[in-house]
Structure formats: C-alpha cells, structure tokens
Amino acid sequence: MQYVRSGRAKLATDVAGNGTAVVFLHANVCDRRMWRVQLNGMSATHKAVAYDRRGFGETRAEPEDFSALADLVAVLEATADNGPAILVGCSLGGRIALDAALRHPSLVRALVLIAPNVAGAPDPVYSPDIEKLMMQSKEAEASGDLDRLNAMKARLWLDGPLAPEGRVAGSARDLLLDMNGIALRSQPFGADVDVVPFFHRLHEIAVPTLIAWGDLDFPYVQDRCRRVVAAIPGAEGREMPDVAHLPSLERPAEITSLIAEFVGRRAGTDS
C-alpha cells in the first residue's frame, strides 16, 4: 500500500502486478477492500490498482472542498505509467469512472461498471415497500445510531431491497459492515464540488464499456443501467441473477472472471 497525494488528502492505494493499469473505484458503502479478490486476480496480467476515496478506509484527508474526479486523476498519474487505464467502478465509483471517460478521455482505455451512479440521471422512484425501507434508513440516520444505520445499509445494498434481510451472510456481510462502519464514523472531510451532470452526454463515450447489474438491486438502478447501455455506443449489458448492488462481495470469482473476459476481448491491452 502507498499513499497518493491529492490536495490535502493522502489516498490509500494498493498496487499489484505489471502491465496496463486496471483501476478499481469502490462504492459509497465500501472501501477498496470490496475489490480485493478482483485486485489479486487481475494483478496476474495487469497492474491492478485500488484506492480509498476521502472518508473511506485508510485514506487520510484534512477538511477541504475537493474533486473526486481530480483525486482519480492523481491516482492515475501516480500509477498508470502515462498510459490510458481500464476503470472498474461500482455505484458512485462508477459515476467517477464515467465522468473521467467524458472529461479526460485520453486517460481511459475501457470501462467496466457495476450498477453505476450517473450524475444528472432521473431521480429514483420507489414502490411502497421500498419507500418504507428508505424511511427506516432515514430514521436510523436521524437517530444517530450508527450501528442501526449500518445494518440498514447492509439490508438495502447487500441483501437487496426486495430480498429477505440477511440473505447475504458470513464474511461478505462482515466486510461490508466493517467498511461502511469506518465511513459512517469518519471525520468531516469536505464536499465534492466538482459534480457535473452528464447523463445527457453518455453518447459521447467512445471506449469499450460493460455495464453489469443484479436483478435483486433497486428497480430504479436496474432501469438506469439499461438506459446507460442503450446510450453508450457499443456498450454491453449484463444482468446478473440472484445478486444485488455489490456482486464483487457476493460472487467475487464470477466478477473477476467477468472483468478479465471483457478486458481480454475488448480492451486491446498488450499486457
């Protein structure tokens, strides 16, 4: 592990292997450890990189307004050997990867995105059952009971809002609770002031792109993923059965194979 400086932050970054860089961007309820199986798997053929954003994991940041995209660029400059990188992002990590492909296209070779967030996408619409769960999550947050809030986040994002609570157990759940527990208890670190809507610009993305999502994820997330596939020229879509928002935790070997197969077939690397 090394630290990459960006502004007043030191971004905790794992680097393993050699070759074309594959950079992993974590979800907002996780840290770089959500990718540890994929990092190990891809490091056999590529330089695999995973870092913690501000407020997550082992990254240390003094309070300041910042740009999550600029932080990614700092990681790329420090690790990608001046070549374009393959970006693998989940949820909010996917949003940052898409933003990079639009605003810094020379830095991006390909995209593999799992349930990506998209700045400027339509607001979520919830069914009554899911709306009830979202209200419970807001009540937990308002109460200041971080353990209760953490449990609700696992219920929504790991199990899936329409699946039974506790569907995913064991080490995957323990890791999610640990990662998100650190994030919930992090000290104030500032606001990302560089979020620019780009939902209307997805047709400009010109690199090989794979979008994957689980059929137990929020229905609005699934719908958004399909719309992203339709908007990006040549993008591939993959719906995964019986998995929710964080398949790298639920089915790590399957996600590693999915990434490796797509990269080998579409990214044109010479590693």
Q: What is the mean pLDDT of residues 222-239?
A: 98
**Domain CATH code at residue 237:** 3.40.50.1820
Share above pLDDT 90 across residues of the chain, in percent, rounded to a whole number: 97
The answer as to whether 67 is a domain residue is yes
- 209 CB-near residues (< 8 Å, 6+ apart): 101, 110, 111, 112, 113, 232, 234, 235, 236
> Would 17 be classed as within a structural domain?
yes
* Domain membership of residue 231 as a residue range: 2-123+188-266
DSSP string, the chain: -EEEEETTEEEEEEEES-SSEEEEE--TT--GGGGHHHHHHHTTTSEEEEEPPTTSTT-EE-S--B-HHHHHHHHHHHHSTTS-EEEEEETHHHHHHHHHHHH-GGGEEEEEEES---TTPPPP---HHHHHHHHHHHHHHHHT-HHHHHHHHIIIIII-TTSPTTSS-THHHHHHHHHHHHHHTPPP---B------GGGGGG--S-EEEEEETTS-HHHHHHHHHHHHHSTT-EEEEETT--S-HHHHSHHHHHHHHHHHHHHHS----
Does the pLDDT of residue 266 top 90, yes or no? no
For 103-133, the pLDDT digits (tens) are 999 999 999 999 999 999 999 999 999 999 9
pLDDT > 70 in the chain, percent:
99
pLDDT per residue over 59-94, tens digit each? Answer: 999 999 999 999 999 999 999 998 999 999 999 999
State the average pLDDT over residues 215-227.
98
269 against 153, higher pLDDT: 153
**Statement: residue 238 has pLDDT above 80:** yes
Please report which confidence band the pLDDT of residue 269 belongs to, taking 50, 70 and 90 as the band edges: low
Q: How many domains does the chain have?
A: 1
Would residue 181 count as lying in a domain?
no
Flag whether 169 is in a domain: no
- Please indicate, yes or no, if residue 72 is contained in any of the structural domains: yes
Kindly state whether residue 154 falls inside one of the protein's structural domains.
Answer: no
Residue 197 counted as domain residue: yes
Q: What is the pLDDT of residue 104?
A: 97
- Is 180 domain-assigned? no
Q: What is the mean pLDDT of the chain?
A: 96
Look at residue 36 in the predicted model and tell me its pLDDT.
Answer: 97
Q: For residue range 160-201, what is the model confidence (pLDDT) as tens digits?
A: 998 999 999 999 999 999 999 999 999 999 999 999 999 999
Q: What pLDDT sits at residue 271? A: 41
Q: Name the pLDDT band for 46 (thresholds 50, 70, 90).
A: very high
